Amino acid sequence: MRKSHLRLPAITATALLLLQTLLPARWSWAQQPSSPSSQQTQPQQQQTQQPDQTAPEAGGPGNDNGPIAIPKKGAPPPPPPPEPTVKNPPGLNNYSLRVDVPVVDVDVGVMADKTHQFIPNLKEDNFRVFEDGVPQDIVAFRQVKAPITAVLLVEFASNSWNFIFDMWNSAYAFTQQLRPDDYVAVVTYDMHTTILTDFTHNKMMIQQAVQSLQMPTWNETNLFDALYETLDRLSRIDGRKYIILISSGRDTFSKITLDKCLQKIKETPNVTIFSIATGGAGIMGGGGFASGRMNSITMLQAQNQLQSFARMTGGMYFEPRFTAELPDDFAAINESIRNQYQITYKPSNIKMDGTYRRIRVELVDQEGHPLRMQDEKKKRLKYDIIARDGYKAKQQVE
């Protein structure tokens, strides 16, 4: 009995040692799944654990907390900077503001009183410009000499042979003084307005158009309609334009009144009218304005209308009594057209109210007194200042 009792503890110790050795393996076998589906999920679990094992390698040491952090692969880009706030109300796009600073160009001719010759070599300090009586600051000044763009507007009606004869001579004298670079159109009027030739440089074509006027049709002379239509056409042409109006000055059947015609002249910029009255006394045996259908009252009214057209636009009015005067008259027109002083100023009245502004130009010396000039014989030289008497300001669009 004693002998067996002594062997039992040895066997028990050996058994316990075997149990400690085999028990972990047995528990691991019990934890392994027996189904095939569970065997497939094991590699997926290992794949999901793989990025965690390589994270320090891609993201830098110390979980991106080290001195150098390497960006992780596949990381999203940083967000863009916020857009600047727009001060305009929502739904309103950006816009640009344009401010028109008005300027006024005034063509001034200074002509000798007797010879009608242009007086050159005047300086900017010799000119004073007034708008509605207020002195203006001149911003640009120059003397210009350029070709002309003109419309030869002639009256051709069966009212009197004297008028037609004067028209032929006046138109011929005008075409004789044209230059190759001048741009001229020929328009006639009686009851209707007819364009004989459009603007051209061909001097021969202009003379042929005048020579084609042989037999008038109507007795009516619609001067206001013809002048209104001509001004309307010239308003579409840029630059300085001229109208050489050869007319008796009377109007008999126009739809446009004199007031509307004068208003059209005021509203049309950069147009100068030179008026030559036809039917003067002494041509073709005398009589002239007072003969035939034109009595003294009609004559004075016709003269006043032609003078008004020229004065308002800075042009000149001529009333030739003899054919021999025509070359000198058109020479004065050429001197005035081709030689001018161009003055530019910014008006002190910047309101765009559509009102008519009166312009006055004066010549002064260095002390501000009226300029006195002398001719070659040391005699006082009288001169005429030719400039339009005003302009119409722009109308603000509401």
- The answer to the question of residue 132 being in a domain is yes
The answer to whether residues 114 and 227 belong to one domain is: no
Picking from 289, 311, 338, the residue at the C-terminal end of a domain is 338
pLDDT, residue 295, reads: 62
The answer to whether residues 390 and 279 belong to one domain is: no
- Examine the pLDDT at 86 and tell me if it is beyond 80: no
What is the model's pTM? 0.64
The answer to whether residues 109 and 257 belong to one domain is: no
The listed range with the strongest mean pLDDT (1-5, 15-19, 278-282, 348-352) is 348-352
Residue 59 pLDDT level (bands cut at 50, 70, 90): very low
Residue 337 pLDDT level (bands cut at 50, 70, 90): confident
CA pair distance 126, 117, nearest whole angstrom:
18
CA pair distance 194, 157, nearest whole angstrom:
12
User: Which of 311, 393, 368, 383 lies closest to 135 in space, CA to CA?
Assistant: 368
- The answer to the question of residue 51 being in a domain is no
Token duo for residue 196: 């004989």
The answer to whether residues 187 and 133 belong to one domain is: no
Residue 126 pLDDT level (bands cut at 50, 70, 90): very high
Question: How many structural domains compose the chain?
Answer: 2
Picking from 338, 368, 388, the residue at the C-terminal end of a domain is 338
The answer to whether residues 265 and 364 belong to one domain is: no
User: Which residues, listed in sequence order, are joined to residue 38 by a DSSP beta bridge?
Assistant: none
The answer to whether residues 351 and 311 belong to one domain is: no
Q: Mean pLDDT score of the chain, rounded to an integer? A: 78
- The answer to the question of residue 165 being in a domain is yes
Give the least confident one: 109-118, 226-235, 308-317.
109-118
Q: What is the CATH number of the domain that holds 321?
A: 3.40.50.410
Q: In this predicted model, what pLDDT tens digit does every residue of 344-366 receive, in sequence order?
A: 999 999 888 889 999 999 999 99
The answer to whether residues 236 and 358 belong to one domain is: no
In this prediction, what percent of the chain has a pLDDT beyond 90?
32
- The answer to the question of residue 30 being in a domain is no
pLDDT, residue 20, reads: 56
- Examine the pLDDT at 62 and tell me if it is beyond 80: no
Start-to-end C-alpha separation, the chain:
133
The answer to whether residues 220 and 325 belong to one domain is: yes
pLDDT, residue 214, reads: 78
- The answer to the question of residue 52 being in a domain is no
- The answer to the question of residue 24 being in a domain is no
What average pLDDT score do residues 364-370 get?
A: 91
- Examine the pLDDT at 181 and tell me if it is beyond 50: yes
The answer to whether residues 369 and 260 belong to one domain is: no
The answer to whether residues 210 and 246 belong to one domain is: yes
The answer to whether residues 126 and 194 belong to one domain is: no
User: Which of 329, 337, 338 lies closest to 172 in space, CA to CA?
Assistant: 329
- Examine the pLDDT at 323 and tell me if it is beyond 60: yes
The answer to whether residues 173 and 266 belong to one domain is: yes
Picking from 312, 338, 364, the residue at the C-terminal end of a domain is 338
Q: Which residue range(s) make up the domain with 398?
A: 104-145+341-398
Name the residue type at position 379. K
- Residue 67 has a CB neighbour count (10 Å cut-off) of 7
Give the least confident one: 76-90, 265-279, 310-324.
76-90
Q: Is 193:180 a contact under the CB 8 Å cutoff? A: no
In this prediction, what percent of the chain has a pLDDT beyond 70?
71
- Examine the pLDDT at 305 and tell me if it is beyond 90: yes
CA pair distance 336, 377, nearest whole angstrom:
24
Residue 123 pLDDT level (bands cut at 50, 70, 90): very high
pLDDT, residue 356, reads: 92
- Examine the pLDDT at 319 and tell me if it is beyond 50: yes
Q: Is 180:196 a contact under the CB 8 Å cutoff? A: no
